Structure 1
Amino acid sequence: MTKFLLSVHVIAAILVVGPIAVAASMFPRLVRQSAPGADLLHRICRGYAVVGVAVPVFGIATGASLGVLTDAWLLTSVLLTALAAGLLALSILPGQERLLATPHGAEEPRRAGAARLAMVTGVFNLLWAVVVVLMIVRPGSTTGA
C-alpha cells in the first residue's frame, strides 16, 4: 500500500503543482503586456489549486504508512507546503484576479501589481523546490543521501 500511496503522491505533485508553478510564473508577464491568455492561466491556477489538495493528503498518508510523521524533514515539508498553499490561496490567486480586473489603460498599477505578483510566485516556486529537495534527501533518514 505504501508504494501505491507514494506513487499517487508523486504523480499528483508532478501533474498538479507543476502546472500551477508554470502558469503562475507566466501570468505576470502576459498580464503586464496585456497579452491574451492571462485569464486562461488564472483559471488553470485556480482549478489545479482545488485538485492540489490531493498532494498533501497522499503525502501524509504515505508518511503515516512509512511511520515518519514525526520526522523533522517531513514536518518541515508540511510547514513549507502549508506556506506555499497559503501564498497561492491568499496572495497569488487574488493578485491574479485583481490584475485581470485592472483596466487596460492603467499601465502603472498593472506593471507594479505584476512585479509584486512575480515576486510572490517566485517565493511560491522556491518553497516547492525546497520541499522536493527535502523529499529526496530526507535529512536523518537511513535512506537519505
Structure 2
Amino acid sequence: MTKFLLAVHVLAAIVAIGPVAVAASMFPAVLRRGDVAVLRSLNRICRVYAAVGVAVPFFGLATAGSLGVLGDTWLIISIALTAVAAVVLVLLVLPQQHRILADGVAVGRLAMYTGLFNLLWAAVTVLMIVRPGSTTGA
C-alpha cells in the first residue's frame, strides 16, 4: 500500500503542481505581450490545477503515515513549506492574476510571488528526495 500511496503522491505532484508552476511563470511574460486570451487560459490552468493540487499533500500525508515518518523534521519542514506555497498561490498569485484580468492593471510583484511559489516547491522537492536522516543512504 505504501508504494501505491507514494506513486499517487508523486504523480499528483507532477500532474498538478507542474502545470501551475509553468502557467504561473508564463503569466508575466504573456502579460507584457498583452495577449488576453492566453492570460485567461493561463489563469484557468492555475486555478484548476491548484484545486487538483490538494491531492498532493493528502497523499503525501497518507504516505508519510504509512512509512511512519510523520514526526520527522524533514517532513514537518516540507509540510510547512507546502502550506506557505499554498498561501502564496491562493492569497498572492491567483488574486493578482484575477485583478490583471479584471482591471487590466499590471501588478509589479506578480513575477516575484510566482518565483517564490516555484522556489518553495523546489525546496519541498529537494527535501523529499534528500530526506535528511534517511536510512536509504541517499
Unaligned runs of at least 5 residues, structure 1: 104-108
The answer to whether structure 1 residue 73 and structure 2 residue 66 are counterparts is: no
Q: Which residue of 1 aligns with 2:30?
A: 30
Match of 1:130 among 103, 106, 123: 123
Number of matched residues?
137
SS in 2 for 1:118: helix
**TM-score under structure 1 length normalisation:** 0.91
Q: Distance in 2 between matches of 1:25 and 1:144?
A: 35
Range 120-129 or range 28-37, more displaced? 28-37
Kindly provide the amino acid, as one letter, of the partner of residue 122 in structure 1.
Answer: G
Question: What is the CA deviation profile of residues 61-96 of structure 1, one whole-angstrom value per residue up to 9, with x for unaligned ones?
Answer: 000000000000000000000000011111110010
- Return closer, same or farther for 1:131/1:5 CA change in 2, 3 Å cut-off: same
Q: Is the 8 A contact 1:2 1:62 kept in 2?
A: yes
Q: How does 1:5-44 map to 2 (within 5 A)?
A: 5-35=5-35, 36-44=37-45
* Equivalent-residue separation in structure 2 for 1:64 and 1:86 (angstroms): 24
Report the counterpart of residue 111 of structure 2 in structure 1. 118
Per the TM alignment, residue 132 of structure 1 is displaced from its structure 2 partner at its CA by: 0.4
Counterpart for residue 53 of structure 1? 54
**Alignment partners' CA distance in 2, 1:86 and 1:54:** 16
Q: Deviations over 1:35-67 (max 9, x none)?
A: 130000000000011110000000000000000
- Gap change, CA 1:16 and 1:32, over 3 Å in 2: same
CA contact (8 A) 1:136 1:144 kept: no
Q: 3-state SS of the aligned residue for 1:37?
A: helix
Structure 2 gaps, min length 5: none
Shift of 1:102: 2.4
